[in-house]
């Protein structure tokens, strides 16, 4: 995918106090579709043995103050990422969180490693990741989700962060992934953030940049910045 293929990502502003509610089981798919899902998963697992078929959240109803959905397994989400039309007119809408992190020196950006399963080589505002079931709990707390991603990807603890209210939902063209944009702040300097990523991060990113207000113009119009980050940056006046 190139930067020129990001047209059509849609945005919805969210209301304060957004709730995420889990409901009944998701749709049942035909034997043929399930066989295709299994084939895609087996191929991906052979290439990446570390893949784990965890439980992820799919949004069925998306409104400014409320998101309703169901739990499904990751292999279905991965199958749709590889074959966006696999579920026909009932696509999964994999819910994800995407932070917009300000440190003491500016706005933090990270480049996804080229080896990433999705959108490798593009810049985004970290942390980010799929909403997944954690510790056997079926409820969804977006603040907990973004905090977990921050610790896994950046080595930042909950105590390092001020977590704001979700601001917007951005839906990816094709894959139907829905990013929930969440502002974050840390008193740490840019150098301290880089040190945490280097010492404790999981290798999701291969470069970290900290953009000062004076450097914002250098990032305008860049085609390697993901749309969710671009939209969050405009709202927060930091990109």
Is the torsion defined by CA of 145, 146, 151, 157 positive or negative? Answer: negative
Confidence category of residue 8, pLDDT binned at 50, 70, 90: confident
CATH of region 9-235? 3.90.79.10
CA angle centred on 235, ends 209 and 2, rounded to 5° = 55
Please check the confidence at residue 173 and state whether its pLDDT lies above 60: yes
- Looking at the predicted structure, is the pLDDT value of residue 4 above 80? no
What is the structure's pLDDT at 134? 84
Q: pLDDT tens, 175-233?
A: 999 999 999 999 999 999 999 999 999 999 999 999 999 999 899 889 999 999 999 99
Residue-range domain boundaries for the chain: 9-235
pTM: 0.93
Of 231, 223, 116, residue with least CA distance to 167: 231
pLDDT of residue 193: 98
Which pLDDT value is given to residue 6?
65
Whether pLDDT at 172 is above 70: yes
């Amino acid at each position: 995918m190139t930067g020129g293929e990001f047209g059509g990502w849609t945005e919805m502003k969210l209301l304060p106090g957004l709730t995420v509610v889990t409901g009944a089981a998701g749709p049942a798919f035909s034997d043929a579709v399930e066989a295709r899902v299994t084939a895609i998963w087996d191929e991906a697992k052979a290439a990446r043995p570390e893949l784990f078929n965890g439980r992820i959240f799919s949004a069925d109803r998306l409104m400014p103050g409320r998101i309703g959905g169901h739990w499904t397994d990751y292999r279905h989400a991965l199958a749709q990422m590889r074959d966006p039309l696999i579920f026909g007119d009932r696509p999964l809408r994999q819910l994800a969180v995407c932070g917009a992190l300000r440190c003491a020196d500016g706005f933090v950006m990270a480049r996804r490693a080229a080896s990433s399963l999705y959108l490798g080589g593009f810049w985004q505002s970290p942390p980010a990741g799929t909403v997944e079931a954690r510790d056997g709990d079926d409820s969804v707390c977006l603040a907990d989700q973004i905090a977990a991603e921050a610790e896994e990807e950046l080595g930042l603890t909950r105590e390092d962060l001020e977590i704001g209210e979700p601001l917007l939902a951005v839906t990816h063209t094709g894959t139907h992934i829905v990013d929930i944009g969440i502002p974050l702040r840390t008193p740490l300097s840019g150098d301290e953030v880089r040190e945490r990523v280097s010492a404790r991060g999981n290798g999701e990113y291969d470069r970290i940049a900290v953009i000062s207000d004076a450097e914002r113009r250098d990032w305008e119009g860049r085609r390697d910045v993901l749309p969710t980050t671009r939209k969050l940056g405009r709202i927060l006046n930091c990109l």
